[in-house]
Amino acid sequence: MTIADIVAPERVRRVPDVQSKKRALEQLAEILAEGTPYLTAADVFNGLIGREKLGSTAVGDGVALPHARMKGTDDCIGAFIRLPQGVDFQASDNMPVDLIFGMLVPEAATDEHLKLLRALAELFSNEPVIIELRDADDDAALYRTLLANDVVVG
């Protein structure tokens, strides 16, 4: 499994006017639910916020990896958003989050999605990748950067 396997180009976006973690997760939920008739943005948001209540998914350096197990999906679905400025995600390093990779996995998912989360956390700890994502001029450049630094799991 790779980023290219789970993230379509239209699910990679620069998102304006986001001032809070809640609004960032709402935007992410809307993007993740697009084109999936079996999921609503509200269901996805509830799944993401439910996971956040267990502990912040911020991994440091302004990056968060919110994720949720979802009934009704057979495949992993991913999305990436970049915010114009960071929002408080209760990160352990206290840095505001502006780079968010969200993922939905089937309710009966195996450990493969955990391996993918670990690989993503490692990818997003790579400072040159973070700089390139923050410097990307448009959504297509964000997507190209993700694919150029893709991870392989499984």
Active-site residues: which are they? 67
Structure tokens at 147: 């694919």
Residue type, 129: V
Bridge pairing between strands 12-14 and 63-64:
unpaired
Structure tokens at 18: 């986001």
Q: Which helix (H) or strand (E) holds 58?
A: strand 58-60
Q: Is the distance from CB of 145 to CB of 133 less than 8 angstroms?
A: yes
Q: Is the distance from CB of 61 to CB of 124 less than 8 angstroms?
A: yes
DSSP calls for 104-117? EEETT--THHHHHH
